[in-house]
Structure 1
Amino acid sequence: MLRPLLFLFAVPYNLISINTSDCPITYYGQEYTTVYTNFTGEDLFVCFNGYYNPEGNGDCIRVPNTDNRTNIALNNNNDPSYWTGLTDVIHSSVSTVTNNVTCYLLFYNRLVSMLVESSSFLIQTKQTLDQTLFCTLRSILHDICSTFTGHGFGVKPGDTRQIPNTCTFLTCSSTRIPSVKTCGPPGQCDGNGTCLCTVTGPTVIDFKRQMNSVSDRCEYSLLHDQSTGFSLKANFLERRRRDVSFVDSLTLDFSDSEDIQLLQGHRVTVTGSPVTVNSSVQTFSGVDLSKDQTGVTASFSVNGSSVSVFFDGTTAQIYMADPVNFTYDGLCVDSNNVSSLRLSSDTSCQFKYPDPADNTINCSAVAQQCDVLKSAPFSSCNSKVDPQPYINACNETLCKYPDVDGLRCQFIQAYAKACEKSQVNLVIQVFSFTVQPKPVCGDRICNSHEFCGEINYNGGCRCREIFAFVYRQSNLLGGPTVCKDNNASLSLVGCLLNEKSIDYTLLHLNDKNCTGVMDPDSHMVTFGFNGDSCGTKVTETSNQIIYKNGIMTSNGSSEVITRQDEIYIEFSCINKKPEMQTVVFRIQGSTVVQYIKSEVWNYSVTMKAFTDGSRTQVLTPDSEVKLNQRIWVELETDGLNGDLVSVVTDSCWATDNQMSNSTPKYDLIMDGCANPDDQTVYVGGNGEGTSNYFSFNMFRFSRSTGEVYLHCKLQLCAKKNNCVPACSRGVRRRRSAKYRDEAPAFLSMGWSH
Structure 2
Amino acid sequence: MLRPLLYLCILLALTGAARADTCTVTGPTIIDFKSQLSNVTDRCVYSVMKDSSNGFEVFANFRERRRRDVSFVDSVTLTVDSGDTVILEQGGRVLLNNTLLTLNGSAQQINGVQLSEDQTGVTAQFTLTSQSISVFFDGYTAQVHTQAPVNSAVTGLCVDSSSTSSARFPQSSSLSCETQYTDSPDSTIDCTAVAERCNILRTAPFASCNAIIDPTPYINACTEALCRYPAVDGLKCQFQWAYARACSLNSSTTAVDWGTVTECSPPQAFCQDKTCSDHEFCGDTLTGEQGCLCRAVFAQHYKDSNTLGNPIDCKQNSVSITLLGCLMEERGIDYTVLHLNNQSCRGMMDQETHMVTFSFDTNNTCGAEVTTNGSQTTYKNTIMTQNSSDVITYYDQVYIDFSCYQSQPEMKLVAFRIKDSSVVQHITSADFNYTVTMKAYSDAGRTQSLDSNTDVSLNQKIWVELKTSGLDANMIAVVTDSCWATSQSSPRSAPRYDLVKNGCANPSDQTVQVTGNGMGTSNYFSFHMFQFSGSTSEVYLHCQLQLCLKQEKNCVPNCTSGGNKRRRYARSNFEHKMSSFISMGWIH
Describe the shift of the 1:629–1:240 C-alpha distance in structure 2 as closer, same or farther (beyond 3 A).
Answer: closer
> What TM-score results when the alignment is normalised by the length of structure 1?
0.59
Deviation at 1:372, TM superposition (A): 0.8
Query: What is aligned with 1:463?
Result: 294
CA distance in 2, matches of 1:750, 1:660: 19
- The answer to whether the Cα contact below 8 Å between 2:113 and 2:126 also exists between their aligned partners in 1 is yes
Deviation at 1:608, TM superposition (A): 12
Counterpart of 1:427 (choices 231, 242, 256) is 256
Indicate whether 1:444 and 2:444 are aligned. Answer: no
Counterpart of 1:480 (choices 299, 311, 334) is 311
- The answer to whether the Cα contact below 8 Å between 2:17 and 2:149 also exists between their aligned partners in 1 is no
* Structure label with greater radius of gyration: 1
Query: What is aligned with 1:500?
Result: 331
Query: What is aligned with 1:364?
Result: 192
Counterpart of 2:347 (choices 470, 491, 516) is 516
Query: What is aligned with 1:297?
Result: 123
CA distance in 2, matches of 1:608, 1:568: 58
Describe the shift of the 1:205–1:440 C-alpha distance in structure 2 as closer, same or farther (beyond 3 A).
Answer: closer
Query: What is aligned with 2:553?
Result: none
Query: What is aligned with 2:59?
Result: 233
Please give the secondary structure, in 2, of the residue aligned with 1:505: helix
| Residues matched between the structures, number | 500
Describe the shift of the 1:433–1:307 C-alpha distance in structure 2 as closer, same or farther (beyond 3 A).
Answer: closer
Please give the secondary structure, in 1, of the residue aligned with 2:170: coil
Deviation at 1:578, TM superposition (A): 2.2
- The answer to whether the Cα contact below 8 Å between 1:310 and 1:316 also exists between their aligned partners in 2 is yes
- The answer to whether the Cα contact below 8 Å between 2:65 and 2:72 also exists between their aligned partners in 1 is yes
Which segment drifts farther, 562-571 or 436-445? 436-445
Indicate whether 1:556 and 2:385 are aligned. Answer: no
Query: What is aligned with 1:274?
Result: 100
Deviation at 1:697, TM superposition (A): 9.6
Query: What is aligned with 1:393?
Result: 221
Describe the shift of the 1:319–1:592 C-alpha distance in structure 2 as closer, same or farther (beyond 3 A).
Answer: farther
Deviation at 1:665, TM superposition (A): 2.9
- The answer to whether the Cα contact below 8 Å between 2:294 and 2:327 also exists between their aligned partners in 1 is yes
- The amino acid that maps onto 1:548 is K
Deviation at 1:300, TM superposition (A): 0.4
CA distance in 1, matches of 2:343, 2:117: 43
Deviation at 1:200, TM superposition (A): 0.2
Query: What is aligned with 1:657?
Result: 500
Query: What is aligned with 1:260?
Result: 86
Describe the shift of the 1:630–1:263 C-alpha distance in structure 2 as closer, same or farther (beyond 3 A).
Answer: closer
CA distance in 2, matches of 1:495, 1:438: 24
Indicate whether 1:543 and 2:405 are aligned. Answer: no
Query: What is aligned with 2:74?
Result: 248
Describe the shift of the 1:255–1:593 C-alpha distance in structure 2 as closer, same or farther (beyond 3 A).
Answer: farther
Describe the shift of the 1:751–1:379 C-alpha distance in structure 2 as closer, same or farther (beyond 3 A).
Answer: farther
Which runs of structure 2 are paired with 1:77-476 in the superposition (5 Å)? 140=1, 143=2, 156-157=5-6, 160-161=9-10, 163=12, 169=13, 190-192=16-18, 195-323=21-149, 325-345=151-171, 346-423=174-251, 424-429=253-258, 431-435=260-264, 440-456=270-286, 457-476=288-307
> What TM-score results when the alignment is normalised by the length of structure 2?
0.74
What's the CA shift string for 1:347-399, capped at 9, x where partnerless?
Answer: 31000112122222222222111111111111111111100000010111111
Please give the secondary structure, in 2, of the residue aligned with 1:223: strand
What's the CA shift string for 1:698-745, capped at 9, x where partnerless?
Answer: 4489xxxxx99555999xxxxxxxxxxxxxxxxxxxxxxxxxxxx999
Deviation at 1:503, TM superposition (A): 1.8
Deviation at 1:426, TM superposition (A): 1.9
What's the CA shift string for 1:156-198, capped at 9, x where partnerless?
Answer: 24763355xxxxx39xxxxxxxxxxxxxxxxxx9424960000
Deviation at 1:746, TM superposition (A): 5.3
What's the CA shift string for 1:593-642, capped at 9, x where partnerless?
Answer: 764236796x9989899x99499xxxxxxxxx9837999x9x9x9xx9xx
CA distance in 1, matches of 2:294, 2:109: 34
CA distance in 2, matches of 1:372, 1:252: 33
Query: What is aligned with 2:487?
Result: none
Deviation at 1:443, TM superposition (A): 3.8
The one of the two structures with greater contact order (alpha-carbon pairs below 8 A, sep at least 6) is: 2
Which segment drifts farther, 425-434 or 366-375? 425-434
CA distance in 1, matches of 2:451, 2:393: 74
CA distance in 1, matches of 2:452, 2:167: 85
Deviation at 1:402, TM superposition (A): 1.4
Query: What is aligned with 2:536?
Result: none
Query: What is aligned with 2:358?
Result: 527
CA distance in 2, matches of 1:751, 1:219: 76
CA distance in 1, matches of 2:43, 2:215: 27
Deviation at 1:303, TM superposition (A): 2.0
User: How many percent of aligned residue pairs carry the same amino acid?
Assistant: 45
In angstroms, what is the RMSD of aligned CA positions? 4.5
Describe the shift of the 1:199–1:612 C-alpha distance in structure 2 as closer, same or farther (beyond 3 A).
Answer: same
- The amino acid that maps onto 1:535 is G
Indicate whether 1:579 and 2:410 are aligned. Answer: yes
Describe the shift of the 1:244–1:751 C-alpha distance in structure 2 as closer, same or farther (beyond 3 A).
Answer: farther
